[in-house]
Amino acid sequence: MPVLFFYKNYTFRFWSAEESRPHVHAIGPNGEVKFWLDPDGVHIAEISGKINSSELNQLFREVKNHEKECRKKWREYFGD
């Protein structure tokens, strides 16, 4: 399960056997957020745990900041 990057106490990665749609998981002590990497941008797919709105906004911003890198690593890993 490739690690894409770190932000504060969160690890950003994707699961290799989950599904074929590009996405990123932000996993940390307060929970997990799944972000879709859609052609029209980044979207929140799922939230679990106790992540407040400020934290969610920060995580979303970090995925947006690393969007190109995440897409590149997805293509390299899956060959798409």
Task: Output the pLDDT for position 18.
Answer: 77
Residue-wise pLDDT for 58-67, tens only, equals 999 999 999 9
Per-domain boundaries in the chain: 3-78
Share of the chain above pLDDT 90, in %: 82
Residue-wise pLDDT for 41-57, tens only, equals 999 999 999 999 999 99
Please check whether residue 5 is in contact with residue 80, taking contact to mean a CB–CB distance below 8 angstroms. Answer: no
Task: Output the pLDDT for position 80.
Answer: 64
Residue-wise pLDDT for 1-27, tens only, equals 789 999 999 999 998 777 888 999 999
